[in-house]
């Protein structure tokens, strides 16, 4: 056994060294078809640029590289090239205008193969399965469904606002419950029963595992795929045990609510829902597709909304003058006798500007990866097929060519005469990979933000002596969704 392990180790080391040396040679000598890979930091043999990777606030660190290497930068992660896109133009050009070949996903061994997210909408490669998912979502998220979702959110607002008043420190937990139950109701017909809350707990844990694993090269097995064959009992194979636990959660999250709706459809019972509607339209021939799009509808929705609302509370503490302007607009248009409804949206331009500026100033997702499926040339640089490209969404939304004084929180930038580009064009994905639930997300965020502003004053927390506690401006970057440092309302 020792001699076998030694042989395997020597082969792996030799292969890594040869491949890394080849990339370095091609990059810096300009030979072969790999002439003019985009520039980037000097890479080390075997390691590539692993030691150059930032450990916190990656979006800002990568954005600074634009000053040195330009808008498009190449990193070597061991032997694998990863290309970073650092401007709105490069992201729009590749993920938007050339979406026919830039709409796939990198193969994430940990998240996709080992955990079981590989069949999900978000990680499916561009192809027939992904197109089927998008078709189902388009069918199910019609005007009627969007109207029903708005009605459910409007009905949930009074109890949500009362919960914040009763327990201001728990506003994030309260909104997670509210958004989660509304999404479960729309997707599967669940109401606020114990069954629904139990499923929410499973979903929260599964989505947390997804957020940890869904960025390239977070786990070594994504860079060295042969490690997926290491047994779970082996030393340092904790990733295998984590994957096994997550796979069970995903199965429960995707299968149990689907089977409940299927039984209700067979017996003619249960509430109307997105899933039931698709079952009736598609019959039994598309069960896997319906399972995964229904899970996507409620699984990702609540997580995104919770993070966005945490950002909103932080921003209102930091920029009280913005809060006052938005409240004044609501008071003048809606008055004090009722809460805000979706029909008010077109009459509240400043509140809409607050939502757009929220998504721009502190986007929920700051780095998104796509994979190119064909060799391509862009701006004179060669991009090989199969390369992962990471869009720095934060950099695009802080691009001074699009947004003047980008560090300022100014909703007015989206109003005449400035009319800055809508931040949703970047905050919810690009091209063919744009988030299919973008309209749901915008409905939920508008209604929640507008009603919180209508009913509450958000202030900085105080300590036991009544002294103001200044909230820390910082974000956790351990997950694909970037969450703010915890604050109190």
Q: Return d(Cα 140, Cα 268) in angstroms, integer.
A: 20
pLDDT at residue 228, as a whole number: 96
75-110 pLDDT, tens digit per residue, is: 998 888 999 999 999 999 999 999 999 999 998 999
pTM of the model: 0.87
pLDDT at residue 17, as a whole number: 40
Alpha helices, DSSP H, located in 113-170:
128-140, 143-166
pLDDT at residue 31, as a whole number: 46
Q: Return d(Cα 478, Cα 213) in angstroms, integer.
A: 10
User: What domains appear along the chain, each with residue ranges and CATH number?
Assistant: 87-484 (1.10.630.10)
Low-confidence ranges of the chain (pLDDT < 70): 1-35, 192-194, 216-217, 474-489
User: Is 435 annotated as contributing to ligand binding?
Assistant: yes
pLDDT at residue 482, as a whole number: 56
Residues in the chain: 489
b/e per residue 94-131 (b: at least 16 CB within 10 A): bbbebbebbbbbbbbbbbbbbbbbbbbbbbbbbeeebe
pLDDT at residue 36, as a whole number: 87
- Residues 311/413, Cβ–Cβ less than 8 Å: no
pLDDT at residue 139, as a whole number: 93
pLDDT at residue 22, as a whole number: 45
pLDDT at residue 54, as a whole number: 85
pLDDT at residue 204, as a whole number: 87
- Residues 384/34, Cβ–Cβ less than 8 Å: yes
pLDDT at residue 3, as a whole number: 38
The structure tokens 């561009």 sit at: 126
């Amino acid at each position: 056994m020792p001699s076998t392990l030694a042989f395997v180790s020597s082969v792996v080391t030799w292969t890594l060294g040869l491949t890394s040396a080849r990339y370095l040679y091609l990059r810096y000598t300009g030979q072969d078809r790999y002439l003019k890979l985009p520039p980037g930091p000097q890479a080390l043999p075997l390691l590539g640029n692993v030691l150059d990777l930032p450990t916190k606030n990656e979006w800002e660190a990568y954005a600074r590289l634009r000053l040195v290497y330009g808008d498009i930068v190449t990193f070597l992660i061991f032997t694998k090239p990863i290309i970073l896109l650092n401007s709105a133009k490069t992201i729009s050009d590749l993920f938007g205008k050339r979406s026919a070949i830039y709409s796939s996903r990198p193969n994430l061994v940990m998240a996709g193969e080992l955990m079981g997210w590989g069949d999900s909408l978000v990680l499916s490669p561009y192809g027939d399965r992904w197109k089927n998912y998008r078709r189902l979502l388009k069918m199910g998220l019609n005007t009627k469904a969007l109207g029903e979702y708005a009605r459910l959110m409007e009905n949930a607002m009074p109890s949500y606002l009362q919960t914040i008043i009763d327990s201001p420190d728990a506003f994030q937990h309260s909104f997670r419950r509210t958004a989660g139950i509304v999404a479960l109701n729309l997707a599967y017909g669940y109401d606020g029963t114990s069954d629904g809350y139990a499923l929410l707990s499973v979903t929260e844990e599964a989505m947390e595992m997804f957020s940890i694993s869904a960025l390239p090269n977070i786990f070594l097995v994504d860079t060295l795929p042969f490690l997926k064959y290491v047994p779970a009992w082996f030393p340092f194979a904790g990733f295998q045990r984590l994957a096994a636990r997550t796979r069970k959660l995903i199965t429960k999250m995707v299968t149990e609510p689907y089977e409940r709706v299927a039984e209700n459809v067979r017996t003619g019972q249960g509430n109307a829902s997105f899933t039931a509607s698709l079952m009736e339209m598609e019959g039994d021939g598309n069960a896997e597709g319906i399972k995964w799009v229904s899970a996507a509808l409620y699984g990702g929705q609540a997580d995104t909304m919770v993070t966005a609302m945490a950002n909103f509370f932080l921003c209102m503490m930091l920029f009280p003058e913005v809060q006052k302007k938005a409240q004044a607009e609501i008071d003048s248009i809606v008055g004090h006798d009722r809460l805000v409804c979706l029909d008010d949206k077109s009459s509240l331009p400043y509140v809409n500007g607050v939502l757009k500026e929220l998504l721009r100033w502190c986007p929920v997702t700051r780095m998104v990866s796509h994979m190119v499926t064909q060799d391509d040339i862009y701006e004179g640089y060669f991009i090989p097929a199969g390369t992962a490209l990471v869009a720095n969404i934060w950099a695009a939304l802080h691009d001074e060519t699009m947004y003047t004084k980008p560090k300022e929180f100014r909703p007015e930038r989206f109003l005449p005469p400035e009319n800055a580009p809508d931040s949703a064009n970047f905050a919810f994905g690009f091209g063919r990979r744009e988030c299919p639930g973008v309209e749901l997300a915008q409905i939920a965020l508008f209604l929640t933000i507008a009603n919180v502003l209508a009913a509450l004053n958000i202030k900085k927390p105080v300590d036991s002596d009544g002294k103001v506690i200044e909230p820390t401006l910082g974000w956790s970057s351990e997950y694909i969704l970037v969450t703010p440092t915890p604050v109190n309302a």
